[in-house]
Amino acid sequence: MMHASLRAIGMAVPARRIDNKHFETFIETTDEWIVSRTGIQTRYHAAEDEYTSDLCVRAVQDLASRYEGTLDDVDMIIVSTASPDQPMPGMACRVQYKMGLQKAAAFDLYAACAGFVYGIVVAKGLVAAGSHRKVLVIGGETLSKITDFTDRTSCVLFGDGAGAVLIEADPVGNIHGSVTGANGEGGIDLYISGMAPDIDGTPLNMNRCIVQNGRKVFKWAVNTAAEQYRKMLAENNLQPDDLTWYVPHSANLRIIEAISNETGFPLSKTLESVVDFGNTSSASIPLALCKGIRDGKLKSGDKVMLFGFGGGLTFAGIVITWP
């Protein structure tokens, strides 16, 4: 059986950097509240004519600039996003066309902030099944375009960005055991409205922006992350000391701290992207990995545990030996 290896990574964020003071000009908030409750200091917002597909393409170009092989034989592209340029065509098809990857199939995956890890799990499965050999998994978002800037509890949180990884067939494989799951009952706690006016009879705010019950999602995220951390260690036959880095979805620094309190895994061995980039949903884990590399933390041979959680509600985690 073929195994799957992660070979390369790339990222992109828009040029426009937004600090916390920016929000003080139009909603009742302070830099101090935002930092103390979320840890966020800056985030990036796309230009008016800049969309998710543009950031996804730039993340792949960044990956290509640091990858020694060719992307011409990529045979599958998976994009995770909750903020596509449009519902159809999929963002993966936009990447396929703009990057000239003529041999690649392409589809989008819809699992909100857990989508990037779901994408790695799917890519690993395709490679193991022998149907595909070279898969791009991309998490990309322009959440600023679906943010309600009159809602102070959510508008300060979100940022735009994209991250991409290349996964290849390999006799050994550096992508190990995973966990996946969903809690559809919590769908109402984090949503973006579309066609239906309600979920299970509960009316929605039809503003087509991100709406979340922050407190509820916070608690669910911490409990789920702690429980799945233990499960992933057991399934991968690892002790906590075997792990070099833990990389949870970067929704809020306080959530990351609370997970560390619950698991006992040290915060100093956790990688995040939320302080500089805000909550970038699908992009937050690859951005944290890229930041870890840039800061000289994440190195070849490190054992890394990724854990995504978000709207759906969904979660997915996986262990990787860093290439």
Tokens of 177: 């055991």
User: Is-catalytic flag, 237?
Assistant: no
Least gap, CB of 287 to ligand UT7 (angstroms)? 13
| Main-chain phi, psi angles of 204, to 5 degrees | -100, 155
C-alpha closest to that of 110 among 44, 186, 196, 182: 182
Binding marks (x or -) toward ligand UT7, 18..37, rule CB under 6 A? -----------x---x---x
Please name the residue that has the structure tokens 């956790």. Answer: 270
Catalytic residue among 113, 155, 209, 290: 113
User: Is-catalytic flag, 249?
Assistant: yes
Does 221 help bind ligand UT7 (rule: CB under 6 A)? yes
Distance, CA of 245 to CA of 266 (rounded, Å): 9
Does 153 help bind ligand UT7 (rule: CB under 6 A)? yes
Cβ-based neighbours of 200, under 8 Å, separated by 6 or more: 187, 188
Least gap, CB of 139 to ligand UT7 (angstroms)? 12
Pairing of strands 76-80, 134-142: parallel
Q: How far is CA 128 from CA 9, 118, 139, 152, 315, in A?
A: 21, 15, 22, 45, 22
Which lies closer to ligand UT7 via its Cβ, residue 7 or residue 152?
A: 152
Least gap, CB of 34 to ligand UT7 (angstroms)? 6
Does 310 help bind ligand UT7 (rule: CB under 6 A)? yes
Catalytic residue among 45, 155, 279, 290: 279
Helix (H, G, I), strand (E, B) or coil at 198: strand
Tokens of 205: 């705010």
CA 260, 261, 264, 269 torsion-angle sign: positive
Q: Given candidates 77, 113, 165, 211, which one binds ligand UT7 under the rule CB under 6 A?
A: 113
User: Is-catalytic flag, 261?
Assistant: no
Q: Given candidates 46, 179, 255, 285, which one binds ligand UT7 under the rule CB under 6 A?
A: 255
C-beta nearest to ligand UT7: residue: 214
DSSP string, 251-268: S-HHHHHHHHHHH---GG
Catalytic residue among 45, 93, 249, 252: 249
**Residue positions annotated with a catalytic role:** 113, 249, 279
Applying CB under 6 A, which residues contact ligand UT7?
A: 29, 33, 37-38, 113, 152-153, 156, 190, 212, 214-215, 217-218, 221, 251-252, 255, 279, 281, 310
